[in-house]
Amino acid sequence: MIVGAQWGDEGKGKIVDLLAQHSDVVCRYQGGPNAGHTIIVDGETFKIRQIPSGVISGKVSVLGAGCVVDPQVFLEEVDELESRGVATDVVRLSGNAHLVMPWHVAIDQASERRLGQLQIGTTRRGIGPAYSDKASRIGIRVQDVLDPKILRQKIEVALAEKNVWLERVYEVEPFSLEEVADRYEAHAQRLRPYVADTSLLVDQALRDGKFVLFEGAQGTLLDLDHGTYPFVTSSNPVAGAAATGIGIGPNRLDSIIGVAKAYVTRVGEGPLPSEIPPPQQQQVRELGGEFGTVTGRERRCGWLDLVALRYAARVNGLTSLALTKLDVLSAFAELPVCVRYLLPDGSETADFPAHQSDFHHCRPVYETLAGWEEPLDTCDSLESLPAAARRYVEFVEESLDVEVSLIGTGAERERVLSPRGLETVARP
Ligand code: IMP
């Protein structure tokens, strides 16, 4: 199980892609087209948002019940992948997953505009409104595409209410029932072959002794329950949600790998205690290519925050850590690492604050480690890393009491060091 240990964009796509080579099934259990995975294979870049990244390696790729699926985005990705020679007949969609409909996207956009300065900074892909409708039990599910009559009826019922909201509350254009119904009936026909009982499929695969990889989207601190609410996404990226999001027992998870950058980034609003002051932040952003896959927005960059990472280790039960983009730090002579927070009452804590006001007003307490100031291009083992880089990795392990099982030193699939061997990590 791969889970984002920070605010998303930790480089999970690449780690999943790597471990997918040793897996039989790859599953997404939450989130929707707000996720952006960048995978580089043989110099070719794939950016996918909705379909699990395992598809690139031809693995059975599951979107579980906990996901939301935008049919338009899904089908565009299918077309793009097929046109580039990647087969999509390995993709399976849970009938219980909810659909992101055009009104969800419109409401997400209108709601953010209305919030103005108080906006969440969402990806504006309709994620929050789709999960809200799911919780309110008025959502449209993937399985509804199996029956054209039911689909049309549900679209009609939903639009009767959503159009009132759009026109009267948000003062934007309503949708035409005929136009939406016709478009989604056409989408439905194309979605049907992908619909499957994915809980049964994954259970069967596990019973057959197959290796199943769960890929979390977003990250721990964007979790609806355990993240920095309200600046979070509307689903649960944490590891425990893989069981509910797929429909398997929690005892089926053998290994939980948190993915964290060697620094931190965040897109959207909300506190980021270790945010780097402007000139150096710009440098990290440029070196790390820190611009959103989905929205193209600049990511805010900070020094590694071990308080937040220790929290991620706790709420996910991390069994090991993948530390990505270590090479980006090669440019710096000194590397501050946040080890504690200074709280407004003057006390210091190494534990993530339980109360949001403490987190919003805390200041980072740094320990400064020596940089290595040399490229990591030629490093092909832990031993070949510069001593200061090894020390950086050890410092993380000691602070979290979690082993670092994978180290990213560059963008390509090959540029990941695995001190214990990839096979051992991928097949626990
Ligand atoms: P939403 O998921 O579009 O509702 O956005 C809610 C928050 O989650 C915003 O701060 C987004 O920037 C953030 N977010 C959503 N998906 C991702 C992701 O894949 N990577 C990083 N941040 C994300």
Q: Please tell me the distance between residue 357's alpha carbon and the centre of ligand 1 in angstroms.
A: 21
Clarify whether 9 is annotated catalytic: yes
The alpha-carbon radius of gyration of the chain (Å, integer) is 22
Q: What is the pLDDT of residues 151-201, one digit of tens each?
A: 999 999 999 999 999 999 999 999 999 999 999 999 999 999 999 999 999
Give the integer Cα–Cα distance in Å for 360 and 356.
6
What does the buried/exposed string (b/e) look like for 389-416 if buried means 16 or more CB atoms within 10 Å of the residue's CB?
bbebbebbeebbebebbbbbbbbebebb
For residues 59-71, give the mean pLDDT: 98
Tokens of 135: 């919780």
Comparing 44 with 322, the larger pLDDT belongs to: 322
For residues 322-345, give the mean pLDDT: 98
Q: Is residue 235 within 6 Å of ligand 1 at its C-beta?
A: no
For residues 218-224, give the mean pLDDT: 97
Question: Is the pLDDT reported for residue 255 higher than 80?
Answer: yes
What is the model's pLDDT at position 132?
98
For residues 337-345, give the mean pLDDT: 97
Q: Is residue 129 within 6 Å of ligand 1 at its C-beta?
A: no
Question: Is the pLDDT reported for residue 16 higher than 80?
Answer: yes
Neighbours of 322 (CB within 10 A): 28
What is the model's pLDDT at position 41?
80
3-class SS of residue 319? coil
Catalytic one of 17, 37, 133, 223: 37
Q: What is the pLDDT of residues 223-248, one digit of tens each?
A: 999 999 999 999 999 999 999 999 99
Question: Is the pLDDT reported for residue 283 higher than 90?
Answer: yes
What is the model's pLDDT at position 31?
97
Q: What is the mean pLDDT of the chain?
A: 95
Question: Is the pLDDT reported for residue 412 higher than 90?
Answer: no
Query: Considering the chain, what percentage of its residues have pLDDT values greater than 90?
Result: 90
Q: Is residue 121 within 6 Å of ligand 1 at its C-beta?
A: yes
Contact assessment for residue 86 and residue 55, using Cβ atoms and an 8 Å cutoff = yes
What is the model's pLDDT at position 350?
97
Question: Is the pLDDT reported for residue 367 higher than 90?
Answer: yes
What is the model's pLDDT at position 170?
95
**Which residue stretches of 192-260 are H helix?**
198-207, 241-246
Clarify whether 37 is annotated catalytic: yes
Q: Is residue 264 within 6 Å of ligand 1 at its C-beta?
A: no
What is the model's pLDDT at position 39?
80
What is the model's pLDDT at position 37?
81
Give the integer Cα–Cα distance in Å for 91 and 96.
15
Q: 302: part of which helix (H) or strand (E)?
A: strand 300-302
Give the integer Cα–Cα distance in Å for 368 and 366.
6
**CA nearest to 79, candidates 168, 160, 190:** 190
Tokens of 5: 């240990």
What does the buried/exposed string (b/e) look like for 12-49 if buried means 16 or more CB atoms within 10 Å of the residue's CB?
bbbbbbbbbebbbbbbbbbbbbbbbbbbbeeeeebebb
Best mutation site among 70, 109, 120, 218 for ligand 1 pocket (most ligand atoms within 8 Å of CB): 218
Atom of ligand 1 nearest to the CA of 123: 3
Q: Is residue 120 within 6 Å of ligand 1 at its C-beta?
A: yes
Question: Is the pLDDT reported for residue 102 higher than 80?
Answer: yes
Q: What is the pLDDT of residues 21-47, one digit of tens each?
A: 999 999 999 999 998 887 888 888 888
Sheet architecture: strand order including 334-342: 348-349, 334-342, 363-370
Q: Is 209 left (phi over 0), alpha (psi -120 to 50) or beta?
A: left
**CA nearest to 59, candidates 34, 91, 98, 29:** 91
Give the integer Cα–Cα distance in Å for 198 and 362.
43
Best mutation site among 34, 73, 124, 229 for ligand 1 pocket (most ligand atoms within 8 Å of CB): 34
User: 37 has which bridge partners?
Assistant: 48
What is the model's pLDDT at position 13?
84
Q: What is the pLDDT of residues 373-398, one digit of tens each?
A: 999 999 999 999 999 999 999 999 99
The pTM is what? 0.95
Give the integer Cα–Cα distance in Å for 321 and 319.
7
Q: Please tell me the distance between residue 161's alpha carbon and the centre of ligand 1 in angstroms.
A: 27
- Banded model confidence at residue 17, pLDDT cuts 50, 70, 90: confident
Tokens of 122: 């969402």
What DSSP character marks residue 256?
A: -
What is the model's pLDDT at position 293?
72
Question: Is the pLDDT reported for residue 295 higher than 80?
Answer: no
Q: Please tell me the distance between residue 238's alpha carbon and the centre of ligand 1 in angstroms.
A: 14
Q: Please tell me the distance between residue 268's alpha carbon and the centre of ligand 1 in angstroms.
A: 7
Contact assessment for residue 284 and residue 263, using Cβ atoms and an 8 Å cutoff = yes
Question: Is the pLDDT reported for residue 101 higher than 80?
Answer: yes
What is the model's pLDDT at position 268?
84
Contact assessment for residue 273 and residue 338, using Cβ atoms and an 8 Å cutoff = yes
For residues 67-75, give the mean pLDDT: 97
**Which residue stretches of 11-70 are H helix?**
12-20
Q: Please tell me the distance between residue 125's alpha carbon and the centre of ligand 1 in angstroms.
A: 10
Q: Is residue 128 within 6 Å of ligand 1 at its C-beta?
A: yes
User: 341 has which bridge partners?
Assistant: 349, 364
- Banded model confidence at residue 325, pLDDT cuts 50, 70, 90: very high
For 139, half-sphere exposure in the C-beta direction (CA atoms, 13 angstrom radius) is: 28
Measured at the CA of 234, the angle between CA 228 and CA 239, to 5 degrees, comes to: 75
